[in-house]
Amino acid sequence: MITTAAGAHHYRFVGIEITTTLSVTTATAYDLVFLEAAGGQTSLTQVPTDIVFDRCYIHGTPTGNVRRGIRLNSARTAVVDSWLSDFHAVDSASQAISGWNGPGPFKIVNNHLEGATENVMIGGADPSVQDLVPSDIEVRHNHFFKPVSWCTGQPMSWCTGTGPHWPVENLLEVNNGQRVLIEGNVLEYNWADAVRGFAVLFTPRNNDGTAPWSIVRDVTFRLNIVRHSASGVNISGADDERVGVPSTAPQSQETARILVQDNFFDDLGPDWGGDGRIFQVVPFPSSRSWA
């Protein structure tokens, strides 16, 4: 496991294997790579910066509760040409890469990415740095993948997994992010399980009720292949999910300027437990903000 101190900067990891021996679900390994000030960070001066993972093998174990590969709460960070796999947990959300309390920019290019709940999540929890929005994010030429052997307890005929039940939701989700380029990726194998099974979500969320500045805007999703999924792309014009948030908490900001262009969608629908919607936009934004 790698953990950063407050303000750590200028580290490059090349050809490193990072893993755990945990093989049970009665305990949890949380973050194999923890890019955040120890104890949390509330100001940009504490944020780790200028960190690169290049040609690394970062992985959990087939049967263990290993929640996350990289906690991406940093600045000027790159994950390139690497393999991240076997991130799953029976009792919590799990991702190959997830970031919510780092400003960016982030470069996620040419990786293999496996995560049960989401393969990559931007947002997902409220940032503790005031007004922080993860920004300037490049996600290009990656393979987003969930092994079908992870599927248990669902009615699809191919769902014959015999291991623990890992809750599955989406392949890529953005809850709080701006200036995001998602280009030239393959996103495949996503089924209805914990939720309806959209492969990609652009959905603004003030997740814990403390970050009303959260927003999804200036996102380009182009030249991607999305296949073998319950449904395609779900865009929320505003925060329509208030589960667990105090009724007095303000909503997030409205979605703005989403471009979905020149993508290929294949094999969406009942075979993966969904209805095969290529696009869903609910609620619709009050102004024209996607194309």
Contact 77, 33 (CB under 8 A): no
Rounded to the nearest angstrom, the gap between the alpha carbon of residue 225 and the centroid of all alpha carbons in its chain is: 17
Q: How confident is the model at residue 246 (pLDDT cuts 50, 70, 90)?
A: low
Q: Distance between CA atoms of 207 and 121, rounded to whole angstroms?
A: 13
Nearest Cα neighbor of 228 from 156, 162, 165 is 156
pLDDT surpassing 90 at residue 173: yes
Beta bridge mates, 190: 229
Q: Distance between CA atoms of 106 and 182, rounded to whole angstroms?
A: 12
* Degrees, nearest 5: CA angle 96-225-207: 45
Per-residue pLDDT, averaged over 228-251, amounts to: 82
Higher pLDDT, 286 or 116: 116
Nearest Cα neighbor of 95 from 76, 105, 108, 104 is 108
Q: Could you identify the residue written with the tokens 């290049």?
A: 54
Preceding omega of 103 cis (within 30 degrees of 0): no
For residue 281, with 0-12 CB atoms within 10 Å meaning exposed, 13-18 middle and 19 or more buried, which class applies?
A: middle
Rounded to 5 degrees, φ, ψ at 197 are: 95, 30
Arithmetic mean of pLDDT over the chain: 95
Portion of the chain with pLDDT greater than 90, in percent: 89
Out of 6-15, 85-94, 239-248, 251-260, least confident range: 239-248
Q: Distance between CA atoms of 32 and 52, rounded to whole angstroms?
A: 15
Nearest Cα neighbor of 256 from 214, 281, 219, 207 is 219
Rounded to two decimals, the pTM is 0.95
pLDDT tens-digit series, residues 184-231: 999 999 999 999 999 999 999 998 889 999 999 999 999 999 999 999
Contact 237, 204 (CB under 8 A): no
Residue 154's alpha-carbon distances to 12, 13, 166, 168, 243, in angstroms, are 42, 40, 12, 11, 24
* Degrees, nearest 5: CA angle 90-142-228: 60
pLDDT surpassing 80 at residue 92: yes
User: What pLDDT does 258 receive?
Assistant: 96
Tell me which H or E stretch contains 225. strand 225-229
What are the chain's domains? Answer: 2-281 (2.160.20.10)
pLDDT surpassing 70 at residue 289: no
Tell me which H or E stretch contains 233. strand 231-235
Q: How confident is the model at residue 7 (pLDDT cuts 50, 70, 90)?
A: very high
Q: Distance between CA atoms of 205 and 182, rounded to whole angstroms?
A: 20
